[in-house]
Amino acid sequence: MGRRVLVTGASSGIGAAVAARLTDAGDTVAICARRADRLAEVPAQLRYTVDVGDLASLLEFAAQVQHDLGGVDLLINNAGAARRRPMQRITLDEFHETMNVNFWSAVHLTHALLPAMLERDSGTIVNVSSMGTRTLAGRTGAYTAAKGALNHYTEALHLDLVDTNVHAKLFIPGSTATEFSTPKEGNDTPFPQDPKMVMAVDDVARALVSFVDTDEFEGFANPAFKTQTAQKYADHSAYIAKSADMYRRR
């Protein structure tokens, strides 16, 4: 019998590719996103049209998923949305919206589903972050701030669950060839990315699905990302100064 899985942000991109892989592997997969028409195209057993940024609705949604699946063994908090604009030009409302989708939705769903996992003493929570939190990504400050909060939340949750068989894990994708990185209304700049480092969505999904079953806390879509992370923290001030020079030239 396969796992009972919930994947958020699964109407396209990484979430859709992960859902397809897990479905093919024999898991019972529930997916959610705002776009019902796109959800219908993704292989899964259950589909829910949900805006995870609407935090007030998530407790009821989580209860419905638990009822329909009979429980959730694997939660993949993948939903993400970015405002690509300098920090001084983002409104507070936009900042709150970005935090809700990228951070608070994961917290709300985790806290709704965690008690049943603890009661069974079994379960895995994978929070999908961003390589922007491991390097630097100017003009995406609201997004990387939200994902940075998700990183620290996941670290704390992992430690707090250390004496249980419930596991919290962090997955770090980088630039991925999905619509997430394309220009959108309300964004001043395209998502910053090095063309040489852009990964195919199926490769990222394969890395994530493989990572779920490892004992590692943190997984990277590309092993080279570990080196980039080390470079940042070897001399943080120098790294920021170098990055600032790059942004001045853009």
CA–CA dist 180, 2 (Å, integer): 30
Among 74, 33, 76, 72, residue whose Cα is nearest residue 52: 33
Residues 6+ apart with CB under 8 A from 168: 110, 124, 125, 127, 154, 157, 158, 161, 217
Residue 204, amino acid? V
- In the residue annotation, 239 being an active-site residue is answered as no
Residue 63: both structure tokens together: 């209860």
Per DSSP, the three-state class of 162 is: coil
Give the count of beta carbons closer than 10 Å to the beta carbon of residue 118: 14
Residue 188: both structure tokens together: 């001043």
By the 10 Å C-beta count (0-12 exposed, 13-18 middle, 19+ buried), 159 is classed as exposed
Q: Catalytic pick from 48, 143, 153, 239?
A: 143
> Known catalytic residues?
143
